Chains A and B, each alone.
Chain A
Amino acid sequence: MSFVEFADVCKTYHMGDVEVHAVAGMNFCVERGELVVIVGPSGAGKTTVLNMLGGMDSATSGTIMLDGIEVSALGEYELTQYRRHDIGFVFQFYNLVQNLTALENVELASQICADPLPAADVLAQVGLAHRMDNFPAQLSGGEQQRVAIARALAKNPKLLLCDEPTGALDYLTGKQILKLLQDTCRSTGKTVAIVTHNLAFTQIADRVIHVREGRADQVSTNPHPADALTVEW
């Protein structure tokens, strides 16, 4: 049994009278410790997949399993607990609390979960030991994203979900973030899932899931993923 399993997962939105099938029968598996890249064009349903996997959204039908938990069957409260203890999120726009310093933003997450990592260590790990007491507004975009990653990691989640983590960043910074994510996966053995429209990212992945029109069009594994810094796009 795989670490993550999607079995016939569907997600239908009702926009007025129109039914939109964002995900229509998604099937794939991910193994523990893999760096997974979910790739596809805009509107293919990749973010929906991520949201459902992260417990932010629920599937209309089908089964989502994570480490033996049937996520698709969880109620609202259990989903909250699931997000709280098992999942780390990294967003395109960082979503830091403006009124808290870098360290406090990390603590915000670590304070609520059961087995957190020391906030300062995690920040140091992402290379921000010197900016810990700065407010988000005082940090660059890359730095803010690092804080966001640190915040996700500090929770010591089972799965790190990243939605276009480099989307708002320039090329170099993006690469560094990507590198950070890859390193994190390698060094901590955490399963990391990155959603992107950038096919270049597939080079660094252990497993690549191509999503098209709400389905996993193609799932491939990459026996020799490239180093993030070498990737060009």
Chain B
Amino acid sequence: MRGLRATAFTKTILRSIRGSLGRFLAILGIVALGCGFFAGLLMSGPDMRAAANELYDGTNLYDLRLVSTLGFTEKDVERVRQTEGIAGIMPAISCDVMARLGKEQLAMRMSSLDVDAARDGEEQGASVVLSADGNYLNRVFLREGRWPQAADECVLTADKPVVDVGVGSSIEVLFGTVDLGDVLRERTFRVVGLVSASNYPYTGSFGSTTLGSGMIGQYAFVSPAAFVEDAPFTEIYLRVAGASAYESGSDAYQAVVDEVTDRLEQMTPALASARLGDVRAEAQDEVDEGREEYQTEKEKAQRELDDARRKLDDAKRELEDGERELADGWSEYEDGKAELDQKREEAEEQLADAERQLESGAAELDRSAAELERGAQQLGQGRKVFESGKAKLLEQLGAKDLQGAKKTLQGQREEAEQGIAGLEAAQGGAQRIVDGREALAQGRQEAEQGRAAWEAGRDQLLAGLAAQGMAVTSVGEACAALEQAIAQQQAAGAPEQMLAPLREALAQAQQLAEADERLSRGEEELDQAESELAEGERQLLAELAAQGIEAADASAAVEQLAQRSEQAHSGIAQIDEGLAGIERLESAQTELSQNAKAIEDGRRQIADGRAQLAAGREEFEEQRADAYRQLDEAQELLDDALRELEDGRRKLEDGRREYADGLVEYEDGKREADEELADAQRQLDDAQKKVDELELPDIYVLDRTKSEGAVTYHDDSLRIDSIARVFPFMFFLVSALVALTTMTRMVEDDRILIGTYKALGYSTSRIASKYLWYAGLASATGATLGILVLSQVLPFIITSSYSIVYTVPLHPLPLPIDPLIALASGGLGVGLTLVATWAAVVASLREVPATLMLPRAPASGKRILLERVGPVWRRLSFSWKVTCRNLFRYKRRLAMTVVGISGCTALLLVGFGLHDAIWDIIDGQYGPIIHYDTTVGLDDDATEIDVARVIDVLEGTGEVSGIERVQQENMQAGTDGNGPTLRVQVIIPRSASELGRSVTLRTRVGHEPIAFDESSVVVTEKIALKYGVVPGDEIVLFDQDTIGNIKGSGHRLKVSGVAENYVGNLVYVGREAWKAVDDAQPVFSTIHCSTTPGEEVRANLASMLRECEDVSTVVFSDETINLYRNMLSVVDLVVVLLIVSAGLLAFIVLYNLTNINVEERVREIASLKVLGFTKGEVYAYVYREIALLAVLGDVLGMALGTYLASFVITTAEVDYVMFGRTIHAPSYLYSFVITLVFVGVVMLLMRPKLDRVNMVESLKSVD
């Protein structure tokens, strides 16, 4: 009966499920999501750890690692092996080196690999390497190629490939943390394979080192043969017995390991002193050996020196002998030379005498000859004068000889005398004419005087007549007039007295007339004489002209003729002279002939003298030659002797020089030898001192928590755990709300049925059990499905994401399901749903059956606050009014929707915010904060000159700008010696003011610039956050040793500012402030600068810098940025995951809400349809409410998301980076819009349900 009832009841449940599948699925879905997320996220961490554990155990990864500052020997290994609880032991050698791989130069860890064991190992799956050798620890997977064999072969990691470096290429080791000569045989290694080692699970950093940027960027394994023979082991790897039974990192595991750690730590002092003893003995041996060698060398050198000394002394003696001999030779030579000189002088004297006599004879002879010649010359001259005179004369006379000339001259003389007579006659004629002319002129003058006197008389007469009144004009008239007058008078008879004046006048007048007659005659005679003279002259002149004498008149002719005759006279004189000359010539001719004969005689005498003299000279020459020959022979003998002497001297000087050289050489050699010996002595002393001072080595026992890779991985898995504890809370809250609203609605639907059951006598719990069963079934199914699916999917996605940076292989699917977590999350999901259901049911069940049987009084409309605002309310359309009232009427739905939607928005915002935060690391760091893109680091021992040279190279390229120098130190920071410390890079700029060129120091909030001077200490934000440091507080910087342990008690510095920074942890320290840490002046051997973008430019620059010996690192930020981009793309998968889950959440909530709303208001909707509402109006009526709730949830989700994102970001952050802290505006926009898109999609999907509401059916029944 009970079974039957149970069956009926079950049927009711099944039927109600079928009847309200949407509702059932909503509960199922949300619970699946909540439980699945919770379980999935919670299992992700353990799954990651399990995968790591599998890898660690599968590769027999060490549990403990012993490291000693002095290394270990086989003996030490044996000592350790004896320790209890050790299951496997493997010593290894490793060293950190700077290596050149292809284009890159980075810090690399080289370790020895047990090649035989590796070759025998058998890889099984992704996590296991089987080997018969239990002492083969840290087993390595060979991904490509083969194992190394020869000393110059290596395998590199396949997990972090380097561009252009693969199997077959070569890598070069440049320098290391220790002197490589003590460790490695080779410097160049051929890559023969690529491997993956569980010892290095984190590709972001394979560990830390003091080289380069402080991170190990690559690891390599080589065969032990690659290391020098006596190189000590640097570490001993151990496996702890029983540790593999527990998961790596778990407390149980740690407990087992710690036990052995304690044991080992107890024995480390003994180990250390034993090791010290070994090392000291070995070193002492070496020193002693050195000392012995020193002694032998010293003696040998002394011997050699003595030999040289002896040889030098012999040489000196020889030199002295030679010198003496040479001096004797010289004096002999000098004597011989003096004798010869004397003889030569005598001979010279005699010869000179003879010569002088000869010379005087010759001179006398010459003098006579000269005189003779002078006479001859004079004679010649006289003859020449005579000849020329004679010739001139003959020429003048046109004669052939002197006789002819004489005759001619005489002829000429006669002729000349005749000419003179003619000339004189002509001269007389002319003179007469001249005289006649003179007389003529005189006559004329007299005639004129007579005429003048006549004229005066006439005038007197005429004037007298005129006075008497007689007007007459001439004498004739006067005569006539007077005669008349007399006649008249006479006639008139006038007294004679009266007539006397007249007569007188008449007489006068007659006289005058007579005078006139005379005068006229005289004048006539004169004219005749003149013409006669003129005739005579003309004849004369014509005669003269015929004789060639041109004259104008007679007087001129007189003159000329006189001249001519004078000339003729002088001609005669000349001729006379010529004649006398001829006579003189004739006498001279005779004299000349006599003189010429005398000269000829003289000449003959001189020629005789000359012949006698020549004979004398010949004789003399013979005698002289003879004398000279004798002298020359003697001289030759002397010269030979001199040459010999000079040779001797030269040889002696050479010898002397040689000796001096030898002496200097000897001295140098001796000094050198002394110095070398002293040096060797010093070195020996130093070595001895070192041996004496050898300290106990520090021996560290390091477990996996000291392995950077393992720890980072473990921490990341723990981070997932903490995120897992927060995220699903939201899903659970939403699922509880969904269950509550859904079940409330269901109970209300079943109101009458419940009443019926009650009336039939079913107990409250029995009735409630139906709903509890219903909800339980839904939630349990959901939980199971959700956990099954998401506990696979979520860990898979998360570990896949992490596999970008970790080499830990994915756990093969299916992943183990942790029953505890599954039960916990399932229980939580189902429990919450049941509680919500109970809460929904219990209210209805309290009512009495009678009330229940009645249709429930419709929930009364309530006025809401908004209605009090009349103006607003009146303006709202009825459907808005309904919406507003509904919003506040169904509070559970409001809560569910708002929480659900805000959860959706929050998830989206977390996704996008995480994306922003992570990409901000790069975008915020490179550009706004870090301005340089190139870092060039020099060796620790680089000098100022080295740095300057590198800067020259940089500047020389023309592609580099903004060069700044800093000192970079890898240190650790903390607030005191005991607390946790953080690895930091300390940067000391050479000049505080230059720092701004490469870095902007500012606060993150407000971007206020931070002042930086030589005494400033600025820490980056992450450090400040970690230690709660604010400006004014102190921070402690610790030095660290090569293994990364703190050394010393640290240096306290006062922080002056906290700067925004995303990548790395930096402490900027001014020079003055740095003095508190280190007194020594830093070299500032790190260069920050900017390079022109371009692959080729960089490659060129890098290769140029590599040529510089001291350059240890060349880092281009671009490469770092790309590395980060790669690493951070992990996040994108997570973002997708979050978006998908947000979508699911939104869908379930909205679907459920819409479903409930529609079901509840079927009548209302039908009424609207009947009233003639169009489809669109009906949708609007229903969806407006949902849309409003969604927007409300969306807005709240922004706030929730901001908070949640900041939680996730700070939780997920690793020590090395600070994520961006601001979510970008677009992310808010995306989240908001995507949520609304989800809402829209749900609304679209729910439309058919609204369309299906049937007016007729819906309105028939009572609600």
| A contacts, CB < 8 Å to B | 51, 54, 56-57, 77, 80-85, 87, 89, 91, 93, 95-101, 104, 107-109, 111-113, 135-138, 151, 155
Q: B884's closest neighbor in chain A, by CB?
A: A99
Q: Flag if B1174 contacts A80 (CB, 8 Å).
A: yes
Query: Please, could you name 22 A-B residue pairs with CB atoms under 8 Å apart, sorted by A?
Result: A56-B1256, A77-B1174, A80-B1173, A80-B1175, A83-B1169, A89-B1170, A93-B1262, A95-B1170, A95-B1259, A98-B859, A98-B861, A98-B1164, A99-B861, A100-B878, A104-B878, A109-B1171, A112-B1171, A135-B862, A136-B858, A137-B858, A137-B860, A155-B1171
Complexed CA–CA distance, A150 and B1256 (Å): 21
Q: Flag if A83 contacts B1171 (CB, 8 Å).
A: yes
CB distance from A137 to the nearest CB of B (A): 4
Q: Flag if B1172 contacts A101 (CB, 8 Å).
A: no
Q: Flag if B1172 contacts A107 (CB, 8 Å).
A: no
Q: Flag if B1173 contacts A112 (CB, 8 Å).
A: yes
Q: B1261's closest neighbor in chain A, by CB?
A: A93
Select one of B861, B862, B1169 contacting A136, CB under 8 A: B861
Contacts of B492 in A (CB 8 A): none
CB distance from B962 to the nearest CB of A (A): 71
CB distance from A57 to the nearest CB of B (A): 6
Q: Flag if A97 contacts B1164 (CB, 8 Å).
A: yes
Majority DSSP secondary structure for residues of B touching A: helix
Contacts of B886 in A (CB 8 A): 99
Q: A88's closest neighbor in chain B, by CB?
A: B1171
CB distance from A49 to the nearest CB of B (A): 12
Q: Flag if B1256 contacts A111 (CB, 8 Å).
A: no
- A99/B885 contact (C-beta < 8 A), A56-B1255, A91-B1259, A136-B861 known: yes
Q: Flag if B1170 contacts A83 (CB, 8 Å).
A: yes
B858-874 CB contact bits vs A (8 Å, 1 = yes)? 11111000000000000
Size class of the B contact interface (CB-based, 8 Å): 20 to 34
Contacts of B1166 in A (CB 8 A): 95
Q: Name the 7 nearest CB pairs between A and B, nearest first.
A: A84-B1172, A135-B861, A137-B860, A83-B1172, A95-B1167, A98-B858, A99-B861
Select one of A56, A81, A99 contacting B889, CB under 8 A: A99
- A56/B1170 contact (C-beta < 8 A), A97-B1164, A100-B861, A137-B858 known: yes
CB distance from B1261 to the nearest CB of A (A): 8
CB distance from A44 to the nearest CB of B (A): 16
- A107/B878 contact (C-beta < 8 A), A81-B1172, A83-B1170, A95-B1259 known: yes
Complexed CA–CA distance, A195 and B568 (Å): 207
Give the contacts of B136-195 with A (CB-CB under 8 A). none
Contacts of A137 in B (CB 8 A): 857-861
Select one of B878, B889, B1175, B1255 contacting A108, CB under 8 A: B878
Judge if B564 is at the interface, Cβ distance under 8 Å.
no
Select one of B889, B1163, B1172, B1177 contacting A95, CB under 8 A: B1163
Q: Name, among B881, B1167, B1168, the residue most crowded by chain A CB atoms within 10 Å (CB to CB).
A: B1167
Q: Flag if A112 contacts B1177 (CB, 8 Å).
A: yes
Contacts of A113 in B (CB 8 A): 1172
Q: Flag if B861 contacts A80 (CB, 8 Å).
A: no
Q: Flag if B877 contacts A111 (CB, 8 Å).
A: yes
Q: B882's closest neighbor in chain A, by CB?
A: A99
Complexed CA–CA distance, A54 and B1256 (Å): 11
Complexed CA–CA distance, A83 and B889 (Å): 30
CB distance from A94 to the nearest CB of B (A): 9
- A sample of 18 more A-B contacts (CB under 8 A), given A89-B1170, A136-B861, is A54-B1170, A77-B1174, A80-B1173, A80-B1174, A83-B1170, A83-B1171, A84-B1171, A87-B1172, A93-B1263, A95-B1164, A95-B1166, A95-B1170, A97-B1164, A98-B861, A104-B878, A108-B1168, A112-B1177, A155-B1172
Contacts of B857 in A (CB 8 A): 137
Complexed CA–CA distance, A104 and B885 (Å): 13
Contacts of A96 in B (CB 8 A): 1167
Q: A94's closest neighbor in chain B, by CB?
A: B1167
Complexed CA–CA distance, A96 and B1173 (Å): 15
B874-898 CB contact bits vs A (8 Å, 1 = yes)? 0001100110011001000000000
- A100/B881 contact (C-beta < 8 A), A95-B1166, A95-B1259 known: yes
Contacts of B1262 in A (CB 8 A): 93
- A57/B861 contact (C-beta < 8 A), A77-B1174, A100-B882 known: no
Q: Name, among A95, A136, A151, the residue most crowded by chain B CB atoms within 10 Å (CB to CB).
A: A95
Q: Name, among A54, A82, A93, A151, the residue most crowded by chain B CB atoms within 10 Å (CB to CB).
A: A93
Complexed CA–CA distance, A111 and B1173 (Å): 10
Complexed CA–CA distance, A98 and B1164 (Å): 8
B1236-1263 CB contact bits vs A (8 Å, 1 = yes)? 0000000000000000000110010011
Q: A82's closest neighbor in chain B, by CB?
A: B1172
Contacts of B858 in A (CB 8 A): 98, 136-137
Select one of A77, A93, A104, A108 contacting B1171, CB under 8 A: A108
CB distance from A67 to the nearest CB of B (A): 16
Contacts of B1263 in A (CB 8 A): 93
CB distance from B837 to the nearest CB of A (A): 26
Complexed CA–CA distance, A77 and B1178 (Å): 13
Complexed CA–CA distance, A113 and B889 (Å): 29
CB distance from A4 to the nearest CB of B (A): 18
Contacts of A84 in B (CB 8 A): 1171-1174
Complexed CA–CA distance, A57 and B1255 (Å): 9
Q: Flag if A57 contacts B1256 (CB, 8 Å).
A: yes
Q: Flag if B860 contacts A138 (CB, 8 Å).
A: yes
Contacts of A98 in B (CB 8 A): 858-861, 1164
Complexed CA–CA distance, A100 and B859 (Å): 12
Complexed CA–CA distance, A84 and B1178 (Å): 13
Q: Flag if A112 contacts B1172 (CB, 8 Å).
A: yes
CB distance from A223 to the nearest CB of B (A): 34
Select one of A87, A93, A97, A109 contacting B882, CB under 8 A: A97
Give the contacts of B74-100 with A (CB-CB under 8 A). none
CB distance from A65 to the nearest CB of B (A): 19
CB distance from B1256 to the nearest CB of A (A): 5
Complexed CA–CA distance, A154 and B861 (Å): 22
CB distance from B866 to the nearest CB of A (A): 13
Contacts of A135 in B (CB 8 A): 860-862
Complexed CA–CA distance, A107 and B886 (Å): 18
Select one of A87, A93, A104, A112 contacting B1259, CB under 8 A: A93
Contacts of B889 in A (CB 8 A): 99
Q: Name, among B861, B862, B1166, B1171, the residue most crowded by chain A CB atoms within 10 Å (CB to CB).
A: B1171
Contacts of B1255 in A (CB 8 A): 51, 56-57
Complexed CA–CA distance, A56 and B1258 (Å): 12
Contacts of B1259 in A (CB 8 A): 91, 93, 95
CB distance from B925 to the nearest CB of A (A): 57
Contacts of B1175 in A (CB 8 A): 80
Complexed CA–CA distance, A77 and B1177 (Å): 12
CB distance from B891 to the nearest CB of A (A): 15
B185-226 CB contact bits vs A (8 Å, 1 = yes)? 000000000000000000000000000000000000000000
Contacts of A91 in B (CB 8 A): 1259
Q: Flag if B1172 contacts A85 (CB, 8 Å).
A: yes
Q: A57's closest neighbor in chain B, by CB?
A: B1256
Contacts of B877 in A (CB 8 A): 111
Complexed CA–CA distance, A93 and B1163 (Å): 10
Contacts of A56 in B (CB 8 A): 1170, 1255-1256
Contacts of B1167 in A (CB 8 A): 95-97
Q: B859's closest neighbor in chain A, by CB?
A: A98
Contacts of A101 in B (CB 8 A): 861
Complexed CA–CA distance, A198 and B94 (Å): 107
Complexed CA–CA distance, A41 and B886 (Å): 40
CB distance from B510 to the nearest CB of A (A): 197
CB distance from A24 to the nearest CB of B (A): 18
Q: A81's closest neighbor in chain B, by CB?
A: B1172
Contacts of B1168 in A (CB 8 A): 108
Contacts of A104 in B (CB 8 A): 878, 881
Complexed CA–CA distance, A80 and B885 (Å): 27
Q: B1172's closest neighbor in chain A, by CB?
A: A84
